[in-house]
């Protein structure tokens, strides 16, 4: 009996994410299965059992009448769930140690950058200016992580190990040794009130859209050693209101921001964020995952499904993540 086809609907990214590269990987990783890269390859829609996608055009997945599962090639599924005709089959997202470690590197790098006043030191070097500033210890800084899922929890634990005072905020209450945990709407204000560096690792959902706004910034701690609160957003651009970030930087509500994700990507050339002296911009590469690891993960999920085992990391359509 022939195996059901795997359709690939992948919007290109860097060279390593080129759709043709994904086709090669899946052909190697799924021997004996027809792998069709759409729209280039021809495939009978009735033969398609699985789809592996990255930002697929809305409406395309509804064309497969016998689809059994959709595999999103990243951790965040907001782009897929935005399709109103998305078939009601399990949607699996990526949760992978390689991705988690990369995100923790990013968060640690940027929290340390703000804590160790690295932007000031870079500028001093440019001016050949030898002027060390008072440097406080990590335990003087309160880091607050929005989202204590796969990524947020790992970053929180590493930052706590370095010595920061770390708290996290999630939808449901949690107990994590060494991390002060807050949850739900009622937990948000007290979480923000004790936070000097706010790291956002939330998914983009109806509830979280625009959460990084003027109101949130105004609730952050104002008595910290950094001279003002700092934000680091590596979740999704839709979580932040860029107009409010710029206004908050300019009126002193925020001291600095590191942004990996943006309302519009690529960040338009004319965005004032590019050249703002207190903004660090990175091009949505906080946790570029190894595509070989992802294609192996998808092949393993298909094998589990066909072996009668449950798929892992299935998205809850109700909560949106
Ligand atoms: P998870 O689903 O494992 O964790 C999500 C966390 O957010 C959970 O702790 C969840 O709470 C919390 N959460 C969700 N909604 C709310 C809410 N309304 N209020 C409070 N907390 C909420 O996701 P991951 O950790 O794997 O990934 C997080 C996001 O990171 C992805 O969705 C993606 O957008 C982004 N990402 C960005 C990358 C980049 O390169 N910039 C790379 C990979 C991911 P609870 O635990 O109670 O469910
Ligand atoms: C993402 C990813 O969701 O790269 O951004 O996994």
Structural domain boundaries in the chain: 5-96+289-306, 97-281
Is 75 near ligand 2, meaning CB less than 6 Å away? Answer: yes
Q: Which of 180, 226, 235 is nearest to 207 (CA)?
A: 235
Q: Is pTM, for the whole model, over 0.95?
A: yes
What per-residue confidence (pLDDT) applies to 16? 85
The average pLDDT across 140-164 equals 98
Of all ligands present, the nearest one to the C-alpha of 237 is 1
> Alpha-carbon distance 172 to 29, whole Å?
37
Confidence band for 12, pLDDT divided at 50, 70 and 90 = confident
Domain 97-281: CATH superfamily is NAD(P)-binding Rossmann-like Domain (3.40.50.720)
Asked if the peptide bond before residue 264 counts as cis, ω within 30 degrees of 0, the response is no
Q: Do the beta carbons of residue 226 and residue 165 sit within 8 Å? A: no
Told to judge if 276 belongs to the known catalytic residues of this protein, a careful annotator would answer no
In this predicted structure, the answer to whether residue 182 has a pLDDT above a threshold of 70 is yes
Closest ligand 2 atom, CA of 94? 6
The average pLDDT across 244-254 equals 98
What per-residue confidence (pLDDT) applies to 43? 95
The burial class, CB within 10 Å (0-12 / 13-18 / 19+), for 105 is: middle
User: In which order are the strands placed within the sheet that holds 69-72?
Assistant: 35-37, 5-10, 48-54, 69-72, 91-92
Confidence band for 288, pLDDT divided at 50, 70 and 90 = confident
Q: Of 10, 14, 22, 76, which is best to mutate to test ligand 2, by the most ligand atoms within 8 angstroms of its C-beta?
A: 76
In this predicted structure, the answer to whether residue 14 has a pLDDT above a threshold of 80 is no
Q: Do the beta carbons of residue 61 and residue 51 sit within 8 Å? A: yes
Q: Which two tokens stand for residue 313?
A: 């990391």
Which residues line ligand 1 at a C-beta cut-off of 6 Å? Answer: 74-76, 95, 99, 103, 147-152, 169-172, 201-205, 207-208, 234-236, 260-261, 284, 286-287, 321
Q: Which two tokens stand for residue 314?
A: 């299935």
Closest ligand 1 atom, CA of 77? 32
What per-residue confidence (pLDDT) applies to 13? 73
Q: Which of 151, 21, 160 is nearest to 98 (CA)?
A: 151
What per-residue confidence (pLDDT) applies to 285? 94
Rounded to 10 deg, the angle between the 118-126 and 97-115 helix axes is 60
Domain 5-96+289-306 and domain 97-281 have a common topology: yes
Q: Output the DSSP codes for 201-224.
A: -----TTTTT-BSHHHHHTS-SSS
Told to judge if 171 belongs to the known catalytic residues of this protein, a careful annotator would answer no
In this predicted structure, the answer to whether residue 1 has a pLDDT above a threshold of 70 is no
pLDDT tens digits for range 196-240: 999 999 999 999 999 999 999 999 999 999 999 999 999 999 999
Q: Which two tokens stand for residue 239?
A: 């979580």
Separation of CA 122 and ligand 1 centre (Å): 32
Residue 43: helix, strand or coil by DSSP?
coil
Is 74 near ligand 2, meaning CB less than 6 Å away? Answer: yes
The average pLDDT across 250-258 equals 98
Q: Do the beta carbons of residue 120 and residue 133 sit within 8 Å? A: yes
Q: Do the beta carbons of residue 31 and residue 40 sit within 8 Å? A: no
Work out the percent of the chain whose per-residue pLDDT is above 70.
100
Residues sharing a CB contact under 8 Å with residue 138, sequence separation 6 or more, in sequence order = 115, 162, 163, 164
CATH of domain 5-96+289-306: 3.40.50.720
Mean pLDDT taken over the chain:
96
What per-residue confidence (pLDDT) applies to 290? 87
Give me the catalytic one of 165, 236, 243, 318. 236
Q: Of 99, 100, 151, 293, which is best to mutate to test ligand 2, by the most ligand atoms within 8 angstroms of its C-beta?
A: 99
Rounded to 10 deg, the angle between the 291-306 and 19-29 helix axes is 40
Kindly report the protein residue whose alpha carbon is nearest to atom 37 of ligand 1. 235
pLDDT tens digits for range 80-107: 999 999 999 999 999 999 999 999 999 9
Q: Of 13, 52, 74, 285, which is best to mutate to test ligand 2, by the most ligand atoms within 8 angstroms of its C-beta?
A: 74
In this predicted structure, the answer to whether residue 283 has a pLDDT above a threshold of 60 is yes
């Amino acid at each position: 009996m022939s195996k059901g086809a795997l359709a690939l609907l992948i919007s290109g990214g860097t060279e390593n994410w080129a759709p043709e590269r994904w086709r090669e990987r899946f052909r190697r990783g799924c021997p004996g299965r027809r792998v069709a890269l759409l729209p280039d390859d021809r495939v009978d829609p009735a033969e398609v059992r699985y789809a592996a996608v990255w930002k697929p055009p809305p409406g395309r997945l509804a064309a497969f009448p016998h689809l059994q599962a959709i595999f999103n090639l990243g951790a965040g599924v907001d782009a897929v769930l935005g399709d109103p005709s998305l078939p009601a089959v399990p949607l699996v997202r990526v949760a992978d140690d390689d991705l988690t470690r990369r995100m923790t590197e990013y968060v640690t790098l940027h929290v340390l950058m703000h804590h160790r006043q690295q932007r000031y030191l870079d500028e001093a070097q440019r001016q050949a200016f030898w002027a060390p500033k008072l440097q406080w210890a990590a335990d003087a800084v309160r880091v607050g992580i929005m989202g204590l899922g796969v990524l947020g929890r790992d970053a929180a634990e590493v930052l706590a190990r370095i010595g920061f005072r770390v708290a996290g905020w999630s939808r449901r209450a949690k107990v994590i040794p060494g991390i002060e945990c807050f949850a739900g709407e009622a937990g948000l204000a007290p979480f923000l009130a004790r936070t000097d560096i706010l790291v956002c690792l939330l998914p983009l959902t109806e509830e979280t859209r625009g959460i990084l706004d003027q109101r949130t910034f105004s609730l952050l701690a104002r008595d910290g050693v950094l001279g003002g609160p700092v934000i680091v957003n590596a979740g999704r651009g839709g979580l932040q209101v860029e107009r409010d970030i710029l206004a908050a930087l300019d009126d002193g509500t925020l001291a600095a921001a590191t942004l990996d994700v943006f309302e519009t990507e690529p960040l338009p050339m004319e965005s004032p964020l590019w050249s703002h002296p207190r903004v660090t911009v990175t091009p949505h590469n906080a946790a570029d995952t190894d595509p070989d690891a992802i294609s192996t993960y998808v092949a393993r999920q298909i094998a589990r499904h066909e072996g009668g085992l449950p798929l892992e990391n299935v998205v809850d359509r109700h909560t949106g993540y």
